[in-house]
Homo-oligomer: A and B are copies of this chain.
Amino acid sequence: MKISTLSIGDELIYGEVADTNSARIAASLYDLGLKVRQHLLVGDDLGAIVDALEILATGSDVLVVTGGLGPTGDDLTAQAAAAATGQELLLNEEALAAMQAFVGREGGEFMAATRRQALLPAGCTLIPNPTGTASGFILTLNGCYLLFLPGVPSEMIRMLDGTVLPFIRERFVKKVVIGTKVFTTFGIAEAEMDRVMGDLPDSNAGLALAFRVSFPTIDLKLRGEGDTAAGVAELLAGAAATVRQRLGEFIVAEAGATLDDEVARLFRETGVTISLAESCTGGLIAKRLTDCAGSSAYFLEGAVVYSNGAKHRLLGVPEKMILQHGAVSAEVAEAMAQGERLAAGSDIALAVTGVAGPGASEEKPAGMVFIALADGEGCQVREYGFSGDREQVRTLTAVTALDWLRRYLLTR
């Protein structure tokens, strides 16, 4: 079973827009146990598209094509598909009716140019587009199924999930049930995770494992396949238990949730309120805590205290302490957290001070960061030495702080 993909568009081939469609298609097929053999990008050039269709169809069982189905003169995919398969381009009444119905639902006006999108190769089978005017379609060439989808990612995804994946599944992955389970981890390197989990995949049992780095977190994905849903569920549950046992505290979220989602969930669940005092992260932790809708229920306020004056006035950090230990010190981090908690009246307060770089001294190197967490029982301070450029140090500081909040809230 050989699958190839083809993305069409000048903007993709000139690097103006990243081609996210091919990655989404490959990831969805991987979940079905299928691997894409090759992926080709070509520009809006009729000859190049026809060549690409012929070459890829010859070596593949399925070819998924995205892009070039729009209403403008640059959109040449239907014409190329007709040429490659030796069919005529005809006005497809079914596509036209679907288009008119969509425009009617949206309350828009049917533009003459849109009509061009109903000119499709004779004999094709339509792929319905519930969220746009461009119908997709299916043809065959040299025994290969050609599946054409529009390039707009939101439309493409709906049509992929709704029609294309079931189509492929029915023909090429019959009688097999597939399930996946994702864990997001932080604080453990990919090589170490591979060492710890390397014995888990078991092709005989139908269990596979993949890592995906998304700095600074790493996703671990389990894929199980078998004859019955119950069997696959059992297989995945067993593997998930092993993952939880071996990675334990390094798992920051499950089932596709992010660390930030999990922290938000824990705040909602525990009812704990928080305030922040940030120096080197400059508002990044507040930004991430408030990315989640509904965060106003637990996030009271944040102070971005870049200047020493602000640290003193807003948080009550003694000026003498800053002079004696420096703004980047365990003492100041603790005073910031305690001061912020008192001022805001929150259950807990988290403070960070550090050197994001560049411009560090020998005593206080770039990447030196103090994080403090104060609650009703006291205050803990931790010192870190992060590597990377300014942006990486700030990101690592924020994620480390969020992970500390996660671990703290789990014990409440």
Contact = CB atoms under 8 A, between A and B. Distances in A.
A282 B287 contact: yes
B40 A13 contact: no
Number of identical protomers: 2
Contact of A307 (B36, B212, B286, B300): B300
A313 B183 CA distance: 41
A194 interface: no
Contacts of A106: none
A306 B300 contact: yes
A290 B283 contact: yes
A42 interface: yes
Contacts of A230: none
A23 interface: yes
B27 A15 contact: yes
A211 B14 CA distance: 11
A40 B391 CA distance: 32
A299 interface: yes
A196 to B, nearest CB: 19
Contact of A41 (B38, B307, B343): B38
A295 B283 CA distance: 13
Given A38-B41, A51-B59, A282-B286, A357 B304 contact: no
A293 interface: yes
A285 interface: yes
A22 interface: yes
A293 B359 contact: yes
Among A23, A45, A51, A314, chain B packs the most CB atoms within 10 A around the CB of A23
A210 interface: yes
A16 B215 CA distance: 12
Given A293-B357, A344-B310, A13 B41 contact: no
Overall SS of chain A's interface: mixed
B18 A18 contact: yes
A26 interface: yes
A215 to B, nearest CB: 11
Interface in A20-39: 20, 22-27, 30, 35-39
B52 A27 contact: no
Contacts of A22: 15, 41
A407 interface: no
A37 B43 contact: yes
Contacts of A45: 37
A306 B296 CA distance: 6
A287 B290 contact: no
Contact of A304 (B13, B20, B35, B301): B301
Nearest to A2: B48
Contacts of A359: 293-294
A265 interface: no
Contacts of A285: 283
A306 B301 contact: yes
A39 B291 CA distance: 36
Given A286-B304, A302-B304, A303-B314, 8 more contacts: A14-B26, A38-B52, A282-B286, A282-B302, A283-B284, A283-B285, A293-B357, A299-B306
7 contacts: A13-B36, A13-B39, A18-B18, A38-B52, A39-B40, A282-B299, A300-B310
9 nearest A-B residue pairs (beta carbon): A282-B290, A283-B286, A15-B23, A283-B283, A302-B304, A301-B310, A15-B26, A283-B287, A39-B41
